[in-house]
Each structure stands twice: as structure tokens, then as C-alpha cells.
Amino acid sequence: MSIVEKFVTMDYGPSPEDPREALAWLDKHKRRFGHFIHGAWQSPIEAKYFDTSDPSTTEKLADIAQGSLQDIDAAVKSARQALPAWQSLTPHARARYLYALARQIQKHSRRLAVLETLDNGKPIRESRDIDIPLVARHFYHHAGWAQLLPREFPNHEACGVVGQIIPWNFPLLMLAWKIAPALATGNTVVLKPAEFTPLTALAFAEICQEIDLPSGVVNIVTGDGQTGEALVAHPDVDKIAFTGSTEVGRAIRKATAASHKKLSLELGGKSPFIIFEDADLDSAVEGLVDGIWFNQGQVCCAGSRLLMQESIAERLIAKICDRMNTLRVGPPLDKSIDIGAIIARVQLERIQRLVDQGVAEGATCWQPTIPMPSRGLYFPPTLLSNVHPTSIVAQQEIFGPVLAAMTFRTPSEAVELANNTVYGLAACVWSESINVSLHIASQIKAGVVWVNCTNLFDASCGFGGYRESGYGREGGREGLLEYLEPSWFKHAPPLHQRPLAIDHPPEEPTESADEIDRTVKLFIAGKQARPDSGYSFEVRAADGRLLGEAPLGNRKDIRNAVEAARKATAWPKSSAHTRGQVLYYLAENLSQRREEIANRLSAVVGKEQAQSEVALSIERIFTYAAWADKYEGAIHNPPFRNVTLAIEEPIGTIGILCPTQAPLLGLISLVMPVIAVGNTAVAVPSEMYPLITADLYQLFETSDLPAGSVNLVTGRPTELLKTLAEHDDLDALWCFGDTVTCATAKFLSIGNLKQVFTNEGRSIDWFNPTQSEGRFFLEHATQIKNIWVPYGE
């Protein structure tokens, strides 16, 4: 075709990025890769390989080693071996390595971008302009954290050997999100890249060699799900960080329940994209392009559920269709392509299946008539309108370029629809009103909320989800905490089965003998409630003497308590100042009754401990009253005109299995941080002295604590724990007991993937404030929501 014809048609024409250098790199490795273990390439022990291919052509790119148990074991051994030397480096020395990684990535940025596009099928524009620059930024940012670590995180230690498993949608970026914070905090790493996209991880391995990173600090083992399982199961791994599907996340939670492995999960999503009638609609449509048609929609935080205000729905749909007509689908190495190839045939089939099902359920499917490539794995941009919340396409993560559109009438309905999902990863809110956007943002259950923008990421801003989108954050200060542990906690001795050895025989109770018989009840919804079972159980003193009877709570009582806690919406909404005042008042009232409570408690724990427990409880309540209006978030400044508000939000309703020892102080130490930041609680008091319940509810009732904010259910801990752990309307579970109890809590929590905070079967000294109060507990009582607010006029 001549220039004259091109002058007439004004087509874009092809503009392919040259892949030769990336292909030459593959050839240099003879298109066959082993594992990267202890700083060198190692052939897989079982000598098995699998193909990785280019989804835009389905042509094979290279042979990739299939990691076996032995390969994983060799890699973990290497990481373990490298750990002492890596940790003995100065923070500055580690910072220099991270800085060198960032530099080396920048130097080879184009090769990495092309390799990523070849292996993954994403448009070169995205790998070149988004993925790789964010990778470099992540290493730069974390080079800084490595430098500042001891001053910013005093009395913390690295987890140790970290196992990391990453997905195929952002291969090198997810590697950066995993490896940079792990190395900055002094861990060593075994990383398994996704089966479909191992190449950039292997290129990164070579970069580690080029900058002379000490051998064993980073190990890359390739393979499939079984390789990942082997890594998760390896006994010498201290932490697992996983990004991927919720289904696999559940399996990992289960598989690690019986271990002390720290766990962070970044899982699926079905993120709402809310457009109000006062939004800049054309810009919102571009936002959708960046939301659901970014990376072929294979993005965990893709804005896949469009919620439009009814008044603008028709106009908006027309605008969306117009825009879809100008999207260009095609070979991802072409620089003018918006949508590249789908990762694999199995994924393509899954997308089609879900779309078909959505249509069968009543959705209207619209696809633009744009040119589609004749070979390779492609799916056209797709709009499903008339979708109802009951439809599968409104609920399930499709992980493809498919937008499901629904309408809402009022802001509160928008929030209701937005939160009507098991996920909680991200959300977008489009409105020109700062009042509307921030009000909606604050009510959405999601770890990231983008106001008038979409899919913005930065190393300084944490990323991660609520609910079944996982737990833990990546990026920012909170991301580092996932790779650190307080030193005292890491080295705390195991808890003994019978923790309490009372030095002194218990005192005779000093109460007068003519006291009226006392009936202890459960405390649910602000009321003293009889147990559903109608049974009570005996509570005995240390010397075996009968002290009284406690109500035998069962699963129904737990159900009622959780319901009450969920309904207690006044408490989370109350101001931090108000919560502080209530806690001060509680301390005041406890102080008034200090002697009688200590007296009763002394029958179980001895006079000395009883007095000490009461005194320290008063102090502890004061501590959290003080924290209530001081545990605050941060404002991040990613490198463009924007503020990111990192808000510390309460997790929601938290179940608490209190430690056996220190019946009063243990309970106070856990319930107070939980409620100080605005959670509601269902607590199971110590089985050693459940009678404390009666003293506590009298205190709560007289201290203006709103009904339902704290509920107390006594009974057999193992039975109640099971109900709590399995309860799908409980957002988190705090479990403080022996190793078996903690493992049970984690194991049973997978239904809704509630966050589980345990003592890992270790002994906590509740009488030592260094261990038993402060940020460590508040961090577990909150989750950070990052609200991105670009500004400008």
C-alpha cells in the first residue's frame, strides 16, 4: 500500500516493538531454564520441564524446569544458609543491594518489558509504561526502607526464610512487591513464579547475579501448583506470601494452620466502579478503560462491577459503547494496541463460559465490531448490561475484559450494592463532589478506593484487601510489617498446657457468708442472658473448692452474640474521642470496685496476682483510652499530584478467645484494643474463671458502653472456638491459647478467610506492658484503607 493510500485511510498501521533482544536472551539460555538456587542455575533434580508460550501466537518460548520437593528443599536450605550473613549486614549494605537491583532493572527495562509481553500477552504499552517502571520504583522505595529499618522499626526482626508465590497477571511487578520488602527487612527468599509466566522472574535471577547479590538471598524455583504446595508445606519456611486466587488462598491458610508460618494473602476481587450523576462522565469512561480493559481485565482489582446512578445510565452506556469501538485488540507487541492476549486457553474458555452464563441469566451482551486477530488467544471487550446482583457475572471474578453493569438510585444503595460481595479488594468512586466521594469511600469495604481514578499503584501506598480478598498489605510501612515480627514475640517461649502455677495457696474469700446466691449469665446485646442450653458448669478455685457456676454457652449463644455485635453500629460510628471517654469511664468504675473484684479473683489466682491483675487492668484500659484518638493513619505522596489517605479502619466484629491465665487482665488486654479503635467484640472469657463475666458486665453496663459492642459468652472454649472460627459474619478471630488451639482457629477460619491473630502457642506475659499492650495489638485490630484522591483544577 502506497503512502497515498495510507494518506486516505489514515490507519494507525503496525508499529511492532522489536523483540529481537529479548529473544536473543532466551537463545543465550538455549531456551531452557533451570532453577536459580544459591546464586546459580540448577537443573531440576527430576529433570522434568514444561513449556512456557506466547499467548498471542501460542508458540513455545522456552523449556521451564518443573520444581520438585527436592528442588524446593534445596532452595529453602540455600535461603536458610544465606540468612545469617544477610542479616549481619548493616542496613546500609542491604540498602545498596536493593538500590543496585533498582538500577539494574532500569538499565534493562525494555528487555524486561518485551519479555513480559512475550510471556504474558499484555500490551507493550502497559509492560513498558506501567509494570516495569513500578518494579523499579518498588526497589528504590524499599532500598530506602532497608536504610531506615532499625530506626523506624525498633525491636523488630525479620521472619527469616520467606516462601513467595506469585500470579501470572503482573509477573515481574508481583515479584517486586514480594521480594523488595522481604529483602529490605532482612529476610531471604524462595520465590515461585506462575507456571504461565516464569521468564521475567528468571531474568530477575540473572540481575541478582549481575549485581552480586549474595548467593541464596534470592532463590527462584519454577513449577506448577505442586511446586507451590511443596514450598507452602516446607517446615523450614517462616512465612508465606501469596498472591492469587481466593481458592488457593484458602488451601494455603489450611495447609499452614498447624505451623507458625506468618501468612499474607492477596486474593481475588469483584471491585465496584461507582459513577454518580455529578461525575465527569467522559473521564469516568476512560477510567473504565483503565479499570476493566487494563491487562485484558486480568487484574485482581479490576473495576468489573459498574454501578451507575439511574439518572445517567443510558447516556453512560452510550458513551461506554462509543469508547469500546475505539479499543484496539491485537498483537501485544504492537505499540498501538489497547488489549492484548488472554493468558491461556483455559482462561479464555472460562471467560466465555461465564459470559454465556450471564447472558443465559438475562444480561444483555454487547461487543464492539472491531477487528480481532485471526490467531492467538483473544477475547473482545465486552459489556454486560441489565445485570442483577443475583447473576453469576455480578458475583464471580471473571478475570477477563468483561464489564457487568448495574444501576443504583441513591448513595446508600450504591454502598449497599458495592459491599454486596464476599470480596473487598478495591473500589472506584466517580463524583465531582468531595463530600459524596469521601463519604462513599469511607463506607466501602475495600482496601483501596480510587476517587476519580483507577488502578493507580505506588510503592509507598499499601495494597491489599478486606474480607475474602485476603489479608496483609503490600507496599508502604504496613507492607513491611508483614515481613517483621516483634523480637519478644518471635522468641517468646511456648505456652505450657497448664500455665498457672500458683505460688501461694488461695486466700479464703473475705466476703460475708450471708451473701445472696449469685447467678452469672452471659452478656449479649447489652443484656444479661441465660444460656440457650439451659446448663451451667462448675467453676472451682485453685484448691478445688467450688466457687460457683457459670452458664454453658453454646453455638446458638455465639450466633446471638455475633448478631448483636454486628448490629451495634453506634460504636464503630462514634467518634474516637467518645470511645476514649467511655474507656476512661470504664477504668474509673473498675477502680471503684477494685477490691471486691480482686477478692473474688484471688480464689483462683492468688491474692497477689489478683490485685496486680486489677491494677494493671485499670492501667491497660487507660492505655487504650489514650490510644483511641491517637492511633491514626497517614497521608502518602505517590509521585504525582495526589494524596493517598491511609486510614486505619476497624476490622468489624472480632471474636476473642481469651487466654486461660490472667482471667481479668488477659481479657482486658485483648478486648480493649479491639473496641478502642471501633470494632465490636464477642469474647469467650478464660475457662479458668468465667465468673469474671458477672463483674465485667456490671462494669460495662455502668460505663455507657453501647449495647452489643462487647458480648461475653462463657462455656467450653474448644466448642465455642469452633463456632467462632467458622462463623462467616465474623471479620476476625483473636485466639490466645496453646499451639493446638491456635492451629484450630486458623484451620477453621477458611470459610470467609477471616483474619486470625494468635499467640502462635507462645507465652505472653500479660503483666509486662512491652509484650501485652500497644501497637502490636492495635495493628491487628485495624486494617488500612488507602483512599486515592488526585486533585487539581
Partner 1 sequence: MSIIQKGPQSAQQIGNRHLEAPLSPSDTAIAHLRGRALEANRGVPLNLGWVEDVRVNTSAVERRAQSLVTRRTVKKDYQAAWLLRAISCMDLTTLSGDDTDERVRRLCSKARRPLQQDLVKALGVESLEIQVAAVCVYHVFVETARRALEGSGIRVAAVSTGFPAGLSPLAERVQEIRRSVEAGADEIDVVITRGHVFAAKWQALYDEIAAFKHACGPAHLKVILGTGDLLTLRNVARASAVAMMAGADFIKTSTGKEPVNATLPVGVVMTRAIREYANQTGYAVGFKPAGGIRTAKQSLEWLSLMKDELGPSWLSSDLFRFGASGMLADIERQLEHHTTGRYSADNRHPLA
The footprint of partner 1 (CB under 8 A) covers 1-4, 6-7, 9-15, 125, 129, 278-284, 286-287, 290, 318, 322, 325-326, 335-336, 338, 348-349, 352, 355-356, 359, 365-380, 382, 432, 452-453, 641-642, 790-793
d(CA 509, CA 500): 20
Q: At its nearest, how many Å lie between partner 1 and the CB of residue 286?
A: 5
Q: At its nearest, how many Å lie between partner 1 and the CB of residue 121?
A: 14
Q: Which is nearer to partner 1, 376 or 737 (CB)?
A: 376
Q: Which is nearer to partner 1, 11 or 27 (CB)?
A: 11
d(CA 7, CA 9): 6
- Residue 776 belongs to what H/E stretch? helix 775-781
Q: At its nearest, how many Å lie between partner 1 and the CB of residue 361?
A: 13
Residues 568/523, Cβ–Cβ less than 8 Å? no
The answer to whether 321 is a known catalytic residue is no
Residues 779/480, Cβ–Cβ less than 8 Å? no
Torsion angle of alpha carbons 782, 785, 786, 789, nearest 10°? Answer: -130
Q: At its nearest, how many Å lie between partner 1 and the CB of residue 710?
A: 43
Q: Which is nearer to partner 1, 85 or 635 (CB)?
A: 635
What is the C-alpha R_g of the chain?
28
DSSP letters for 190-219: EEE--TT--HHHHHHHHHHHHTTPPTTSEE
Q: Which is nearer to partner 1, 182 or 377 (CB)?
A: 377
Q: Which of 267, 180, 174, 176 is nearest to 755 (CA)?
A: 267
Q: At its nearest, how many Å lie between partner 1 and the CB of residue 365?
A: 4
Q: At its nearest, how many Å lie between partner 1 and the CB of residue 364?
A: 9
Q: At its nearest, how many Å lie between partner 1 and the CB of residue 60?
A: 19
What sign has the CA pseudo-torsion 295, 296, 301, 306?
Answer: positive
Q: At its nearest, how many Å lie between partner 1 and the CB of residue 635?
A: 17
Distance of CA 743 to the CA centre of its chain: 19
Distance of CA 111 to the CA centre of its chain: 32
Q: Which is nearer to partner 1, 11 or 595 (CB)?
A: 11
Q: Which is nearer to partner 1, 434 or 570 (CB)?
A: 434
d(CA 742, CA 494): 12
Give the number of other CB atoms < 10 A from CB of residue 225: 14
Q: Which is nearer to partner 1, 205 or 342 (CB)?
A: 342
For residue 719, CA distances in Å to 288, 458, 660, 751 come to 47, 44, 15, 17
Q: Cell numbers of 479, please?
A: 507492607
DSSP letters for 276-331: -TTS-HHHHHHHHHHHHSGGGG--TT---EEEEEGGGHHHHHHHHHHHHTT--BS-
Q: At its nearest, how many Å lie between partner 1 and the CB of residue 107?
A: 21
How many Cα atoms within 13 Å fall on the side-chain side of residue 760?
A: 15
Residues 572/679, Cβ–Cβ less than 8 Å? yes
Question: Residues 6 or more apart from 558 whose CB is under 8 A from it?
Answer: 655, 682, 713, 720, 723, 724, 727
Given the residues 195, 266, 468, 474, select the one marked as catalytic.
Answer: 266
For β-strands 710-712 and 680-684, DSSP reports them as parallel
Q: At its nearest, how many Å lie between partner 1 and the CB of residue 176?
A: 21
Q: Which is nearer to partner 1, 96 or 335 (CB)?
A: 335
How many Cα atoms within 13 Å fall on the side-chain side of residue 178?
A: 34
d(CA 164, CA 243): 8
How many Cα atoms within 13 Å fall on the side-chain side of residue 288?
A: 31
d(CA 242, CA 192): 10
Position of cell 501485544?
332
Q: Which is nearer to partner 1, 285 or 756 (CB)?
A: 285
Given the residues 126, 195, 208, 300, select the one marked as catalytic.
Answer: 300
Helix axes 663-676, 692-702, angle to 10 degrees: 30
Q: Which is nearer to partner 1, 213 or 448 (CB)?
A: 448
The answer to whether 300 is a known catalytic residue is yes
Which residue blocks in 340-492 are alpha helix, DSSP H? 345-360, 392-395, 411-418, 434-443, 476-481, 487-490
Residue type, 418: A
Q: Which is nearer to partner 1, 39 or 330 (CB)?
A: 330
Q: At its nearest, how many Å lie between partner 1 and the CB of residue 790?
A: 4
Q: Is 135 left (phi over 0), alpha (psi -120 to 50) or beta?
A: alpha
User: Which residues are designated catalytic?
Assistant: 266, 300
